[in-house]
Structure 1
Amino acid sequence: MYTPFEIKKDIFYVGVNDRTKYQFENHFLLPKGVAYNSYILKDEKTVLFDTVDISYSDVFLHKIKSVLGDKPIDYLVINHMEPDHSGAIEWLVSKFPDIKIVGNSRTEDMLKGFYGITDNVIVIKDKEELSIGEKTLRFYLTPMVHWPETMITYVPELHAIFSGDAFGAFGALNGGILDTQIDPERYHGEMIRYYASVVGKYGSPVQKALEKLSEIEIEAICSTHGPVWVNRKNIENVLALYDKLSKYEADEGLVIAYGSMYGNTEQLAEIIADSAARHGVKDIVMHNVSKSSESHILRDIFKYKGLIVGSPTYNSKLYPGVESLLSALENRQMKNRIFGYFSVYAWANGAKKELKAFSEKMDFELIGEPFDMKQSLNPEAIEKAWELGRLMAERLLSEKAVYIDN
């Protein structure tokens, strides 16, 4: 039998860890696994917040019973309908046939579409409240963070929010559940990667959600992924991080992302990085798109202001990995980046045309003169690569760079 873990008075953790799944949404790599978080709130009525992936239903049931014994679950609150959280709903209803399911009108539609469930559904509206005894559930609709039905449930008596995917992070929970039990820095990069991969397109809806949350006092953030945040300073940092990311603000630093078939594009990228470093940029991240996963590249682009992309021409177009990355950035409506680009070709320079079209679409500041190189390294291309690195450094540092000759 599992030992119940009480997060805060009357709030119990009943989530599970998935260390088997290779890719989140069958797309984003999970080298550190992922947690599917679910919670029980006890009062005169018992409330379950979200469920877990259906493959963990047996573990889930044991954890629920460790908290409730043979008592029923009165309400299931669905903050998010994505199947990694809603997958066990149909199974749960079979175990607790009298359970009432609480969600908004979009939730109701998805319940029917995904699982054929139409009975015992309570449809709530924005800021509506539901009494469960001494405690109250207040519902804040947060559409498009990151599905149209997403919402956040607040318990004012405990100052706790159940936030769905908002404020979540990749990474399984390695024993510790609360931020006070772990080193929170372990999840900082995985929170940025989660935001960039899953939520990144929806900056404006995130801002609206944060505005709603600014009206309330928060002493616990119970997300459906990653650790539970209860330390006041950590809560402030998490909210500030989401505010920053959703405004597309970033730190002083440079990402150089490139594709390279035979090493020529890569050598130009190395020269650019060398120049930027010698002219004062300390945070430089280089990504070979054939080696780095897209979500890790996106994480760093969300993190840093500077972005330089290089591509060889491939079948008259961009190199496939570069094309995929640029499509992902366009899809996320990325803004406020300082951008440079370069291309390499053997006989026809299709990549340059594609990079130019991307640059003109985006809300980026173009730095330097885009350049190309025919076939392999030559003095002119080396000089232009060095100059692009210098100009990027000067712009990032907002003052004339100082050349450091080692």
Structure 2
Amino acid sequence: MYCYGTVTPDLFWLGDSDRRLALFENAYPIPRGVSYNAYLVMDEKTILMDTVDRSVGEQFFENLEACLKGRNLDYVVINHMEPDHCATLIDVILRYPGVTVVGNAKTMTMIDQFFDFDMTGQSLIVKEGDTLCTGRHTFTFAMAPMVHWPEAMVTYDMSDKVLFSADAFGTFGALSGNLFADQMDFEHDWLSDARRYYTNIVGKYGPQVQALLKKAANLDIQYICPLHGPIWRENVEWYIDKYQKWSTYTPEVKSVLVIYGSVYGHTENAALVLAGALSRRGVTNIAVHDASVTHLSELVSLCFQYSHIVLASATYNNGIFTPMETLLSDMKAHNVQNRTVAIIENGSWAPQAAKLMRAELEHMKNIRLLEQSVTLKSSVKEAQRVALEELADALVADLQG
């Protein structure tokens, strides 16, 4: 049975949520599931905004049929060709043979790459600033390359001030009846997943997100309809400001994030000694995480959130402890920058982790390394405790300065 939702009198949400999927993109844990959103505008001509992942295809088609109430589907706009939004595109075309597929030139190339289907006479290629009128509604299109695929674009309904934002402004998390962010405690229950979604899916492409935000700044946006997560109709500026911070790699929390990679617990002990020293000096909102336990996607999100990062690693096979090495690789891949970093290393006979971590960090943009570092040989002794206190002093001075 259908379960579509009403956004405005003639705009309908046709999506569904997957609560069984364990890994988004087969990489990121989603214990709260994920929604796949598609939207239908009922006008003199009917226009569908994107489709959905095959896992929720049956529900999507029930919703679409119920909304159309026997009418034909005239257009389907493809804002993003990723399969979690377009796996059911050909099924839409087969069910509604006269439908026109709207997308940019790169979209059409990707349709040919994903599907074996002759689109002759059924496609409308749009470019930046083009418009499409369906009656009361007029839509305009803006290209958003690398947010987060090269063919990505957004569609703006000039009549009702709705931005169909593709993967921008999305979040992990299944929807549970409420469609709108203002119907939820978004900051408490959703912001962490929204940040983790942005940093891991889009975070590498800050300059491209900035380019899209500059275009959005010229629009009167009353609604944001993303392809994942809740719809925005109130306090839209608050969420756009989050994207402004994330895409400029501006820390949200002026405090210290300590991430350690420890084999037998001694490097962990050093991390905790440091955290205690910071607390005694008045630092609040300290975060401490074990790189072997906390998922990489969470750690990357935290690196975007915090202003100061301490990386503590054991030396392992004469290199960086494997989970820490993987974290550094992910930080680089997701373009983490504009952060102050301090290093703690451990090595019973030949400490190497600090030197190797520095080399990795020097390849990242605008990472400032504190001169103070701490070296352990097996465990924390009095000399290392003093060094950790001195590192805490240096971090506090840097936070204040």
Q: Taking structure 2 as the reference length, what is the TM-score of the superposition?
A: 0.96
- The residue type paired with residue 115 of structure 1 is F
| Cα pair 2:2 2:59 within 8 Å, conserved | no
Partner of 2:55: 55
Measured after TM superposition, the shift of residue 133 of structure 1 is 1.2
| Cα pair 1:33 1:171 within 8 Å, conserved | yes
Q: Distance in 1 between matches of 2:163 and 2:116?
A: 29
What does 1:128-139 correspond to in 2, within 5 Å? 128-139=130-141
Partner of 1:288: 290
Partner of 2:22: 22
CA separation of 1:227 and 1:393: change in aligned 2, threshold 3 A: same
Q: Distance in 2 between matches of 1:66 and 1:36?
A: 18
Q: C-alpha deviations, 1:36-84, integer Å up to 9, x for none?
A: 1111011111111111111211111111112112222111111111111
CA separation of 1:118 and 1:342: change in aligned 2, threshold 3 A: farther
Measured after TM superposition, the shift of residue 6 of structure 1 is 1.2
Q: Decide which moves more: 200-209 or 85-94.
A: 85-94
Q: Distance in 2 between matches of 1:333 and 1:3?
A: 40
Measured after TM superposition, the shift of residue 12 of structure 1 is 0.2
Q: Distance in 2 between matches of 1:3 and 1:369?
A: 58
| Cα pair 2:372 2:394 within 8 Å, conserved | no
Partner of 2:303: 301
Measured after TM superposition, the shift of residue 223 of structure 1 is 0.2
Partner of 1:387: 390
1:322 to 319, 324, 339: 324
Partner of 2:247: 246
Partner of 1:403: none
Measured after TM superposition, the shift of residue 135 of structure 1 is 0.8
Per the alignment, in what secondary structure is the counterpart of residue 338 of structure 2?
A: strand
Partner of 1:404: none
Partner of 1:205: 208
| Cα pair 1:111 1:118 within 8 Å, conserved | no
- The residue type paired with residue 364 of structure 1 is I
- The residue type paired with residue 316 of structure 2 is Y
Deviating 4+ runs (over 6 angstroms): none
Extract unaligned runs of 5+ from structure 2: none
Q: Distance in 1 between matches of 2:9 and 2:136?
A: 12
Measured after TM superposition, the shift of residue 104 of structure 1 is 0.7
Per the alignment, in what secondary structure is the counterpart of residue 202 of structure 1?
A: helix
Partner of 1:40: 40
Partner of 1:153: 155
Partner of 1:375: 378
Extract unaligned runs of 5+ from structure 1: 399-406
Partner of 2:175: 173
Measured after TM superposition, the shift of residue 288 of structure 1 is 0.4
Q: Distance in 2 between matches of 1:16 and 1:74?
A: 22
CA separation of 1:395 and 1:335: change in aligned 2, threshold 3 A: same
Measured after TM superposition, the shift of residue 118 of structure 1 is 4.3
Per the alignment, in what secondary structure is the counterpart of residue 192 of structure 1?
A: helix
Q: Distance in 2 between matches of 1:95 and 1:298?
A: 42
Partner of 1:195: 198
Q: Distance in 2 between matches of 1:165 and 1:252?
A: 28
| Cα pair 2:4 2:15 within 8 Å, conserved | no
- The residue type paired with residue 88 of structure 1 is T
| Cα pair 2:328 2:361 within 8 Å, conserved | no
Q: Distance in 2 between matches of 1:81 and 1:370?
A: 46
| Cα pair 1:256 1:307 within 8 Å, conserved | yes
Q: C-alpha deviations, 1:181-216, integer Å up to 9, x for none?
A: 222222111111111111100010010000001111
Q: Distance in 2 between matches of 1:262 and 1:63?
A: 54
Measured after TM superposition, the shift of residue 130 of structure 1 is 0.8
Measured after TM superposition, the shift of residue 116 of structure 1 is 2.5
| Cα pair 2:140 2:157 within 8 Å, conserved | yes
Per the alignment, in what secondary structure is the counterpart of residue 204 of structure 2?
A: coil
User: Does residue 224 of structure 1 match 2:227?
Assistant: yes
Per the alignment, in what secondary structure is the counterpart of residue 334 of structure 1?
A: coil
- The residue type paired with residue 190 of structure 2 is Y
Q: Distance in 2 between matches of 1:101 and 1:265?
A: 57
Per the alignment, in what secondary structure is the counterpart of residue 359 of structure 2?
A: helix
What does 1:328-339 correspond to in 2, within 5 Å? 328-339=330-341
Measured after TM superposition, the shift of residue 4 of structure 1 is 3.8
Q: Distance in 1 between matches of 2:281 and 2:371?
A: 15
Partner of 2:78: 78
Q: Distance in 1 between matches of 2:46 and 2:210?
A: 32
| Cα pair 2:345 2:376 within 8 Å, conserved | yes
Q: Distance in 1 between matches of 2:160 and 2:117?
A: 31
Q: Distance in 1 between matches of 2:9 and 2:394?
A: 55
Partner of 2:367: 364
User: Does residue 142 of structure 1 match 2:144?
Assistant: yes
| Cα pair 2:340 2:367 within 8 Å, conserved | yes
Q: C-alpha deviations, 1:5-32, integer Å up to 9, x for none?
A: 2102311000110101101111111011
| Cα pair 1:11 1:40 within 8 Å, conserved | yes
Q: Decide which moves more: 385-394 or 308-317.
A: 385-394
Measured after TM superposition, the shift of residue 3 of structure 1 is 4.7
